[in-house]
């Protein structure tokens, strides 16, 4: 396949998943949820919407135009070890591998056993030429030539040990933060609901910590998020985490605030448990910059109102990255092109 044919096939995949029939959508939702209780209707539809935005013809054309991608290449077998914390989280790596002309060897997460195979099978139905370029493996992959692996800090050590001899991208734990400037009103603060609650806080782009001015009343944020905090408790797995963390804090007399669905706790730590958001105060811009610099290597993205900070996302946009918003800031497509 030429690059143009590969791009057109993915654009057709975008049209397909954006226009599923009611029966098709119901089947996808039921099977996804049966394989993972976190993958409820809201989470799966959000993920499908995000992928649909990726796979817009104009967006794809603009993305690949920024690179010197040859029409045809001598394909290399790229092992992509996928995470499963949110639905189809490994899709961008799969897309990048196939767009670059390489063969995808997909190691599917045990937490996402239905959605990713379904997505890849749908792509093959649209363009049968992809059949020889896609392999889904459950065991140990053989005859690979490059690796893209996403996991925890612990699994990264394993990946580095076993795959260090190959060209690789190995990702570790990261989380995201929000910065409040102090003059946001309730409606603006409410936009943080998607950044914090979408996918129940399981993703690396979910906000696990909020930086606030020392003079800011944190209760304003709790009140702005309260309607959405109550809704998110409808997922029993989230509810279990909320009940557990609240009980632990009460028994151990840990100071915290609670709006009925999200627990806020003042802490200098970065990664909070599910249903908990940490907050930390800053006195001025210089102190804030220092704090953000200290955690830069562990931060996936930063959000602020009206992109108050350079290279930040607007409130509500953390979960909607563009094609060129690469995980950990590492240009995956450039890495793959340079394998040739």
Using DSSP, state whether 317 is helix, strand or coil.
Answer: coil
Task: Judge residue 143's burial from the number of C-beta atoms within 10 Å of its C-beta, 0-12 exposed, 13-18 middle, 19 or more buried.
Answer: exposed
Query: For residue 53, what pLDDT is reported?
Result: 86
CA distances from 255 to 180, 246, 258 (A): 21, 11, 10
- Calculate mean pLDDT across residues 118-146: 93
Which pLDDT band holds residue 138 (cuts at 50, 70, 90)? confident
Q: Are 56 and 15 in contact (CB under 8 A)?
A: no
What domains are there in the chain, each with its CATH number? 3-173 (3.40.605.10), 175-307 (3.40.309.10)
Flag whether pLDDT at 144 surpasses 80.
Answer: yes
β-pair type (168-171, 146-150): parallel
Residue 340 pLDDT greater than 80, yes or no = no
pLDDT at 140 over 80: no
Q: Confidence class of residue 269 from pLDDT cuts 50, 70 and 90?
A: very high
Q: What percent of the chain has pLDDT over 70?
A: 100
- At 82 the pLDDT is 95
Range scoring the smallest mean pLDDT among 88-97, 150-159, 163-172: 150-159
pTM: 0.94
pLDDT at residue 225 in the model: 97
Task: Give the integer Cα–Cα distance in Å for 34 and 39.
Answer: 8
Contacts of residue 46, defined as CB under 8 A and 6 or more positions apart, other chains included, come to 87, 198, 199, 319
pLDDT of 139 strictly over 80: no
What gap in Å lies between CA 245 and CA 267, rounded to an integer?
15
């Amino acid at each position: 396949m030429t690059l143009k044919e590969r791009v057109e096939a993915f654009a057709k995949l975008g049209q397909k998943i954006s226009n599923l029939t009611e029966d098709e959508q119901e089947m996808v939702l039921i099977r996804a949820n049966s394989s993972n209780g976190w993958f409820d209707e809201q989470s799966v539809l959000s993920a499908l919407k995000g992928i649909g935005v990726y796979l817009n013809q104009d967006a794809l054309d603009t993305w690949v135009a920024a690179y010197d991608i040859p029409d045809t290449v001598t394909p290399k077998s790229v092992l992509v070890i996928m995470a499963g914390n949110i639905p189809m989280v490994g899709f961008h790596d799969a897309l990048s591998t196939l767009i670059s002309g390489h063969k995808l060897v997909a190691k599917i997460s045990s937490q996402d056993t239905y959605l990713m195979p379904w997505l890849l099978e749908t792509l093959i139905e649209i363009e049968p030429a992809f059949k020889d370029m896609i392999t889904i493996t459950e065991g140990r992959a053989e005859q690979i030539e490059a690796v893209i692996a996403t996991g925890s800090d612990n699994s990264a050590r394993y990946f580095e040990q076993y795959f260090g001899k190959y060209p690789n991208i190995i990702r570790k734990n990261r989380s995201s933060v929000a910065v409040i400037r102090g003059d946001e009103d309730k409606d603006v603060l409410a936009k943080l609901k998607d950044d914090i609650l979408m996918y129940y806080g399981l993703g690396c782009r979910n906000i696990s910590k909020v930086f606030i001015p020392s003079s800011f009343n944190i209760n304003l944020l709790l009140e702005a998020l309260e309607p959405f905090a109550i809704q998110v408790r409808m997922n029993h797995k989230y509810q279990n985490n909320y009940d557990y963390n609240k009980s632990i804090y009460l028994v151990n007399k840990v100071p915290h605030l609670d709006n009925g669905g999200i627990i806020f706790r003042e802490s200098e730590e970065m990664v909070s448990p599910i249903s908990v958001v940490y907050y930390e105060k800053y006195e001025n811009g210089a102190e804030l910059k220092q704090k953000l610099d200290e955690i830069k290597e562990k931060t996936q993205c930063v959000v602020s109102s009206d992109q108050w900070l350079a290279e930040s996302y607007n409130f509500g946009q953390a979960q909607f990255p563009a094609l060129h918003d690469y995980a950990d800031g590492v240009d995956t497509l450039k890495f793959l092109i340079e394998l040739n």
